[in-house]
Amino acid sequence: MSSELISALISRVSKQGLSYLDKAALAELGETVIAIEEQQIPGIVLEAGCALGGSGIVIAASKALSRDFYIYDVFGMIPPPSRHDGADVFERYALIKSGKSSGINGEMYYGYENDLYEKVRKNFKDFGFDPAQQNIHFTKGLYEHSLHVHSSVAFAHIDCDWYESVTTCLQRIEPWLATNGILVIDDYDTWSGCRTAVDEYFSDKKKHFSFERKSRLHIKKISAEPKHENHHF
């Protein structure tokens, strides 16, 4: 899709309240996927945390038609935080649990939807995406049970808020990340548990990655990690 069309699509996603990312962040996400295509980085593209589908629609519009795009989400209520998350997260989760959280643009919070899975599929369809034709695959379930990667990953958007979710994603996705492949971490500057998860995960792997602060944290694999690296010297 041309950059003009993607820009129009981002305006529509934003106007319809389909993403927590603002227009600039959505544009940055799209540009990152387009760069992955231009550099012909091998592998699938992936999103962990789709909510109403807004960022996923932008990724779908930016990827090559033939490239597989896997979307993972519980498509329901976000799971509870753990002891590794901070007070900010527990406060947010308490509001969600109370049933009083409002959604984007004052609409219903996505976690209260009766059938979020079907709603998201409809959102993709309304934007002209036919998952079967365009190699878009939805997987419903908690990452702990459902997120299993078995092929090279060119790009992953990790947007799932809490410590355990982000940790599971990193553990399952990063080992498959292609050289020059990119992970975009949405919540590094938003939720304490996400930041802890990323800092912990990469603490002994830093030399193999570049870390770039854009509107979100972009992590690029610059060299493959030897299988049996000794981290203790």
Query: Closest Cα partner for 73 from 104, 108, 116?
Result: 116
Query: Among 6, 78, 177, 219, which residue interacts with ligand SAM (rule: CB under 6 A)?
Result: 78
CA 204 to chain centroid: 23
Pairing of strands 217-221, 209-213: antiparallel
Q: Is 46 near ligand SAM (CB under 6 A)? A: no
Tokens of 165: 């979710």
Whichever of 164 and 181 has its CB closer to ligand SAM, that residue is 164
Q: Is 198 near ligand SAM (CB under 6 A)? A: no
Q: Enumerate long-range contacts of 1-6, CB under 8 Å, 24 or more apart.
A: 1/61, 1/62, 3/34, 5/61, 6/30, 6/58, 6/61, 6/62
Q: Is 21 near ligand SAM (CB under 6 A)? A: yes
Q: Is 183 near ligand SAM (CB under 6 A)? A: no
Q: Is 54 near ligand SAM (CB under 6 A)? A: yes
Q: Is 85 near ligand SAM (CB under 6 A)? A: no
Q: Supply the angle between the helices 23-38 and 3-15 in degrees, to the nearest 10.
A: 150
Q: Which of these segments, 13-21, 31-39, 121-129, 202-210, binds ligand SAM (CB under 6 A)?
A: 13-21
Query: Closest Cα partner for 40 from 150, 220, 180?
Result: 180
Query: Among 60, 69, 73, 176, which residue interacts with ligand SAM (rule: CB under 6 A)?
Result: 73
Q: Which of these segments, 122-130, 153-161, 203-211, 215-223, binds ligand SAM (CB under 6 A)?
A: 153-161
Q: Which residues bind ligand SAM (CB under 6 A)?
A: 19-21, 49-51, 54-55, 73-74, 78-79, 142-143, 159-161, 165
